[in-house]
């Protein structure tokens, strides 16, 4: 074994200019956004990710993209961008993340994109389902209806209603992004329990006081009641028929050691040692959601 520094621990080749990535001068304005969300045209299931503001949705997606495309022998799929804009987005942010330990920059108000991936079986090259991430500022998740009117985009909840499964990423900062979308889904379902398979994932569980969530779904649910606020967890139970809980960490951690984080000179958090990035329960969460969808298929 060698201690030689490998700047890319996942061995994922990048074509991005290293100086540009080091400065975190990642210009996503040149990637055009779409105003129409995906339609189901090929019969394949659609999964989407939603979540609270600052829950780490973009970081989760980058970690998922990295681990599936490097360690595909250990998982069911590789993650293939479905258009050039998505491919550019993934390449830039993945390089910044695994090579330099930089978290994705905050999305600015008014910037929103539909990032579409195909989850493909690496052995058969068969596309099994679509995975969509609506990249936008917190204002979209807090009030999606007002956001769609302001910027002329399709109402995001309309797309969620077309999906076959939803991953909801949760952080303790702001719950409106969850309650708003659950209320809309619940109302559209004639005030009946939401039957779309859903997994509620607690993010950033590399922090020591949150690591108990990795012991199982019941432990993650108990942690949600303790950490998020009991009324939110109870609210979810009153709206969703089958709400499964889990803990996730996009960067991972070593047992008994502090988080692999440090605060930069500009005040932003970064990863202390990118060589130690080991996402926990990221790809596995998507696998469980896919299983829930598959169990519903006649």
CATH of the domain at 133: 3.40.50.300
Q: Are 196 and 296 in contact (CB under 8 A)?
A: no
Position with higher pLDDT, 49 vs 234: 49
**3-state SS, residue 114:** strand
Asked, for residue 127, whether it belongs to a domain, the answer is yes
Asked, for residue 33, whether it belongs to a domain, the answer is no
Asked, for residue 28, whether it belongs to a domain, the answer is no
Half-sphere exposure of 83 (CA within 13 A, CB side): 14
**CA–CA dist 246, 243 (Å, integer):** 10
**CA–CA dist 42, 96 (Å, integer):** 34
pLDDT at 176: 66
DSSP string, 54-66: TS-HHHHHHHHHH
Q: What is the pLDDT of residues 236-245, one digit of tens each?
A: 888 898 888 9
Residue 31 has pLDDT above 60, yes or no: no
Asked, for residue 102, whether it belongs to a domain, the answer is yes
pTM: 0.85
- What's the alpha-carbon Rg for the chain, to the nearest Å? 18
Q: What is the pLDDT of residues 132-181, one digit of tens each?
A: 998 887 778 878 888 888 877 788 888 888 899 999 998 855 566 788 88
**3-state SS, residue 47:** strand
Asked, for residue 21, whether it belongs to a domain, the answer is no
pLDDT at 174: 59
Asked, for residue 24, whether it belongs to a domain, the answer is no
Grade residue 130 by pLDDT with cuts at 50, 70 and 90.
Answer: very high
Residue 230: both structure tokens together? 């009991």
Number of structural domains in the chain: 1
Asked, for residue 188, whether it belongs to a domain, the answer is yes
Grade residue 298 by pLDDT with cuts at 50, 70 and 90.
Answer: low
Domain that holds residue 213: 46-296
Asked, for residue 40, whether it belongs to a domain, the answer is no
Q: What is the pLDDT of residues 58-106, one digit of tens each?
A: 999 999 999 998 876 788 899 999 999 899 999 999 999 999 999 998 8
Mean pLDDT of 255-276: 90
Q: How far is CA 1 from CA 4, 5, 62, 238, in A?
A: 9, 12, 28, 52
Looking at residue 104, the DSSP 8-state letter turns out to be P
- Straight-line distance from the first to the last Cα atom of the chain, in angstroms, rounded to the nearest whole number: 50
Give the bridge partners for 166, in sequence order.
48, 198
Q: Are 207 and 280 in contact (CB under 8 A)?
A: no
Of 41-45, 166-170, 244-248, which gets the smallest average pLDDT?
41-45
């Amino acid at each position: 074994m060698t201690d030689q520094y490998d700047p890319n621990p996942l061995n994922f080749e990048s074509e991005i200019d290293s100086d540009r990535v080091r400065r975190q001068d990642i210009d996503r304005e040149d990637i055009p956004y779409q105003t129409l969300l995906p339609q189901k045209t090929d019969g394949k299931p659609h999964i989407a990710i939603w979540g609270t503001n600052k829950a780490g949705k973009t970081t989760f997606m980058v970690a998922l993209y990295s681990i599936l495309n490097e360690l595909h022998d250990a998982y069911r799929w590789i993650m293939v961008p479905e258009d050039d804009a998505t491919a550019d987005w993934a390449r830039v942010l993945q390089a910044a993340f695994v090579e330099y330990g930089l978290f994705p920059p905050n999305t600015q108000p008014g910037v929103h994109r539909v990032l579409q991936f195909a989850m493909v079986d690496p052995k058969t090259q068969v596309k099994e389902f679509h995975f969509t991430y609506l990249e936008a500022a917190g204002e979209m998740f807090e009030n999606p209806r007002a956001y769609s009117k302001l910027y002329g985009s399709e109402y995001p909840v309309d797309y969620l209603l077309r999906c076959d499964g939803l991953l909801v990423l949760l952080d303790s900062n702001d719950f409106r992004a969850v309650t708003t979308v659950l209320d809309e889904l619940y109302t559209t379902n004639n005030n009946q329990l939401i039957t779309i398979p859903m997994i509620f994932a607690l993010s950033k569980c590399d922090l020591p006081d949150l690591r108990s969530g990795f012991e199982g779904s019941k432990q993650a649910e108990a942690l949600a009641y303790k950490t998020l606020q009991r009324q939110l967890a109870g609210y979810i139970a009153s709206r969703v028929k089958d709400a499964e809980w889990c803990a996730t960490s996009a960067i991972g951690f070593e047992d008994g050691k502090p988080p692999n984080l440090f605060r930069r000179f500009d005040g932003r958090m970064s990863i202390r040692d990118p060589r130690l990035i080991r996402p926990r329960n990221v790809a596995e969460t998507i696998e469980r959601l896919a299983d829930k969808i598959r169990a519903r298929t006649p």
